[in-house]
Each structure stands twice: as structure tokens, then as C-alpha cells.
Amino acid sequence: MALKIYNTLTRTKEEFTTLEPGKVRMYVCGPTVYADAHLGHAMSALVFDIARRYLEYKGYEVRYVMNFTDVDDKIINKANELGVDPFSLAEQYIAGYKRNLEELNIKPASVNPRATEDMPQIIEMIQQLIYNDSAYVVDGDVYYSVDSDDDYGKLSGRSIQTMNAGSRIQVDERKEHPMDFALWKSAKPGEPAWESPWGKGRPGWHIECSAMNMVHLGDQIDIHGGGNDLIFPHHENEIAQTESITGKPFARFWMHNGMMGLKDDKMSKSLGNMVTIDQFLSEHPGDVMRLWVLNGSYRSPLTYSEAVIEQTTQGYKRLLSAKKGALPGSAGLSENELAKLQDAAQAARQGFVEAMDDDFNTALAMATIYELGKTINQARADGATDTQLGTAQSVFDELTSTLGLKLEEETAVGTSADAFIDLLVALRRDLRAEKNWAMSDEIRDKLKSLGVILEDSKDGSTWSWES
């Protein structure tokens, strides 16, 4: 079966192939670190984590690079506001972001390069662009010349004639063309700066990604990802820069995730209408965030609301229910029933792969997982034993973990409490045998307030930590 991926460059789904057999070179644009990351960052990070995990599931070896933009105007401004060093400010937000990613169960990147660490390559690329007549120097600044690039605009589907450069901001008069963009910015007093052939300064936003790609993945890569707000100008400019130097197609597949919205607007740092990852995770498990993304499709926008999170949480509990063990006193399934359960598991795996092969159709993949979960629950209700359930549950685990879901029961305090709860449940069993409903209900209610869910059946009780 062949994986197809929607390529922004061609606006079609294409069969996925790699430059080097069995290996994927993948680059995803990370954040500019000047504020706490919000759910939009989480969405993007999750989307590409899911893609990466699925590629690995398919047997690819993935070299996954996600950068940090750790020097830029916003960081400098924020640092000045707070009266702190911009580098330590960036450091602090990088640490916070990495912690967020870990809490969301996002696999660490192969490498997290930073703009400030690849300065020699950045400067070298700018020099090559100048030699190529793709760039020019003005008073210590260096600009890329869009007129030098015949196919500028091919990713975003625009031409330099049709864009209203300067309709919303003032154009720098020194530029040869209004769309020209900065490769190198000369330093103002007090700003972080690096030595260069054009004087002290720092890199423009776009060139750093081109350079980090070059250093960590090479001239050409298989997948380049990011939010669809980066298509223009950021990714357009990356293509222009890199291809002007190499003369070869840069990324084979351009993948872009849809935007996270809050009510009527895009969630963004500059609009200030955001929910941070920290805020979200203080109230919900990381799995809920991931499941929310999985229930939709990565190219479509997602709108945050309490109602949707509540729905997702319910779905999450449903998934959890499939992982439960046999009911007390289960007699076991017949050969025939067991065979049906195992067939359903195999069918689910197949349906999962078909869905994911179609441009990571996670909503459809989740449908097969929900159905497998239902089949498992049916088997349990029909009296399956732990062992019998286990054969299907291992497939369930395989599929959910491929999507990065943890589906672990929360253990609130630690396992040391378990023995005490077991004891209470045992005592309560006796109370129930004596039909002391008042006392047994009180125990159940009190345990509930401590986060322990007790469930009775006619053959005994089970308990679990509330999720």
C-alpha cells in the first residue's frame, strides 16, 4: 500500500517517495521563542509528530529536524521591555516549549537547531546569493531580489505583480522591488549582533531555516512542514533562497496544517487571543489535546471551545474503556466468538493503514479504532477472559500508540494507595452482602471525591483512577 501526501506545492495528493530509500528527511518550522506556546503551536507540533510516527510505523527511518528561532525583533523587544538578556529569555522559552512537547507525548526531534548556532552557514549562504546576483547589499543590510527568481511565488500560487506589497505596511524605499526581503539586518546599538562581510548584524527570519536545512539535512529534503500561515512569505522565501543556490528542488513535499482558531479569529500571539499549552494541560490530559487533533483533519482549521474539549474528553474516556480487563466471573468466549474478535482486530489494523495512507486521514483512522474498541467491549460483555481480550487489545494499543496516544490511567497519588483502596473495596463487598447500602454508597461517594471510580457488577466491583 502506498502512502499519499497532499503537497501544497502541487495542490494534489501525491504518492510519497523519498530521496533515499527507506529514509525521510523532514523539517518542521518551530516557534519564535518570545512567549509561552499556545494551542496553535501544539496543534502543529502534534500534526507533524503524528505524521512522523506513522512514517516510522511504515518502516521509514526519519530524521526529524525542528528549529527554534532564537534571535529576532520580537525577542529583542520583549527582552528590552523586561530588562533581561535576550539570549536567556529565549533559553527560558525554549525550555518551556520542550516541556510542553514532552507533556503532549511528542517525540523529541533528531535535532533542534537554533539560528544562533548556525551563523557561519547563514553568512555563507548570503554570500553565495550575492555572488549569484540573487541578493544585493544596502547600507549593511542584504536583501533578496525577487526579480532574480523566475518562479518566485510557485508555492503560494501568486505572482509578484499581483501582490499588494506595502498595502498594509510601509515599504522600505531602499529596496529594488517592494517584495524583496531581508537576508541580513544591520545591527542597531545594543542589539545582539554577529560579524559579517557587511558589518555587524543578524540574519533575516527566512534565511535561517534555509541554512539549518542545509546544515542538518542537506541540499534537498523530503518533507517540509509548518502552519499554513507560513506558506507566504516564509516558505516561499525559503524556496527562493535555497533553490537560487543549489539549482535543485528544495523540498519534495510541503505539508501545512490548518490554523487553530478561537471563536472568530485565528489564535495568535500577536492578536493576544490565545490559550497557552500550560493553561490547557493544567486542566486536561495531553491525550485530550492529541485526540482533538486526531478527530479532525490536519489541513482544516480547528476552533477551540469548552464544549468541544468536553466532547473530546468523553471520547477519550471511551477509548480508555476498551483497555479494561475482563468482567469478574467471565466464563470465556467460544472458539467462534474469539475468532470473530481476532478478525475484527485484523480488519481494524487494515482499515487504519488505509486511512492513514490517504494523506494521514486520522479522523477515519480513529473511526476504525473506535469500532475496534466497541468490538472489544462487546467481547467483554459477552464474557471474554483477560487473555482473550488481550489479543485484540494488543492491536488496539499498537494503533493508538502509533498515533501517539498514551491512554494511561492517571495514578493520582502513586501506587502506594492501591493496597488501601483494595482493602476498602473488600470491606465494602461485605457491607453489600449485608445489604448495608447506606454505608457502601458512602464509601463509593467518598472514594469518588478522592478521584477513584468504583463500578459494581453482580459478580463484584472494580475500581480505577478517574482520568
Partner RNA sequence: GGCGACGUGGCCAAGUGGUAAGGCAGGAGUCUGCAAAACUCUCAUCAUGGGUUCAAAUCCCAUCGUCGCCUCCA
Q: Which of residues 227-246 bind RNA (CB under 7 A)?
A: 227-234
Grid coordinates given for 283: 486542566
Residue whose C-alpha is closest to residue 239's, from 256, 265, 220: 220
Grid coordinates given for 429: 463487598
Contacts of 279 by beta carbon, 8 Å cutoff, 6+ apart: none
CA distance 237 to 210: 9
User: Which residues ranging from 83 to 102 are in contact with RNA (CB under 7 A)?
Assistant: none
Q: How far is the CB of 123 from RNA (least distance, A)?
A: 20
- Span interacting with RNA, options 34-42, 50-58, 140-148, 278-286, rule CB under 7 A: 34-42
CA distance 93 to 73: 15
Binding-site member from 127, 128, 246, 378 for RNA (CB under 7 A): 378
467 is a site residue for RNA (CB under 7 A): no
User: Which residues ranging from 247 to 286 are in contact with RNA (CB under 7 A)?
Assistant: 257, 259-261, 264-270
250 and 238 in contact (C-beta within 8 Å)?
yes
| Nearest CB to RNA, comparing residues 4 and 19 | 4
310 is a site residue for RNA (CB under 7 A): yes
Q: Identify the residue whose cell numbers are 494503533.
A: 399
Q: How far is the CB of 93 from RNA (least distance, A)?
A: 10
315-354 mask for RNA (x: CB under 7 A)? Answer: x-xx--x---------------------------------
| Nearest CB to RNA, comparing residues 76 and 123 | 76
User: Which residues ranging from 137 to 166 are in contact with RNA (CB under 7 A)?
Assistant: 156-158, 162-166
User: Which residues ranging from 290 to 309 are in contact with RNA (CB under 7 A)?
Assistant: 295-297, 299-303, 307-308
State the DSSP code for 410. P
| Nearest CB to RNA, comparing residues 19 and 96 | 96
Contacts of 233 by beta carbon, 8 Å cutoff, 6+ apart: 156, 181, 206
Q: 369 - beta bridge partners?
A: none
Q: How far is the CB of 265 from RNA (least distance, A)?
A: 4
- How many residues line the site for RNA (CB under 7 A)? 88
| Nearest CB to RNA, comparing residues 19 and 117 | 117
User: Which residues ranging from 37 to 66 are in contact with RNA (CB under 7 A)?
Assistant: 38, 40-41, 43-44
| Nearest CB to RNA, comparing residues 130 and 356 | 356
Q: How far is the CB of 84 from RNA (least distance, A)?
A: 20
Greatest distance between any 2 Cα atoms in the chain: 91
| Nearest CB to RNA, comparing residues 88 and 164 | 164
Rg of the chain taking only CA atoms, in angstroms: 27
| Nearest CB to RNA, comparing residues 38 and 290 | 38
State the DSSP code for 114. B
| Nearest CB to RNA, comparing residues 307 and 419 | 307
| Nearest CB to RNA, comparing residues 88 and 167 | 167
User: Which residues ranging from 4 to 33 are in contact with RNA (CB under 7 A)?
Assistant: 11, 29-32
CA distance 238 to 212: 11
| Nearest CB to RNA, comparing residues 19 and 177 | 177
Q: How far is the CB of 83 from RNA (least distance, A)?
A: 22
CA distance 232 to 212: 19
- Span interacting with RNA, options 126-134, 167-175, 216-224, 386-394, rule CB under 7 A: 167-175
382 and 341 in contact (C-beta within 8 Å)?
no
Q: How far is the CB of 207 from RNA (least distance, A)?
A: 12
Q: How far is the CB of 441 from RNA (least distance, A)?
A: 5
CA distance 467 to 452: 9
- Span interacting with RNA, options 54-62, 193-201, 361-369, 416-424, rule CB under 7 A: 361-369
User: Which residues ranging from 434 to 453 are in contact with RNA (CB under 7 A)?
Assistant: 437, 440-441, 444, 453
User: Which residues ranging from 188 to 207 are in contact with RNA (CB under 7 A)?
Assistant: 205
Contacts of 460 by beta carbon, 8 Å cutoff, 6+ apart: 328, 329, 429
Q: How far is the CB of 364 from RNA (least distance, A)?
A: 4
| Nearest CB to RNA, comparing residues 38 and 52 | 38
224 and 253 in contact (C-beta within 8 Å)?
yes
Q: 463 - beta bridge partners?
A: 454
- Span interacting with RNA, options 101-109, 112-120, 335-343, 367-375, rule CB under 7 A: 367-375
455 is a site residue for RNA (CB under 7 A): yes
Q: How far is the CB of 49 from RNA (least distance, A)?
A: 13
Angle ∠(72,75,78) on CA atoms, nearest 5: 145
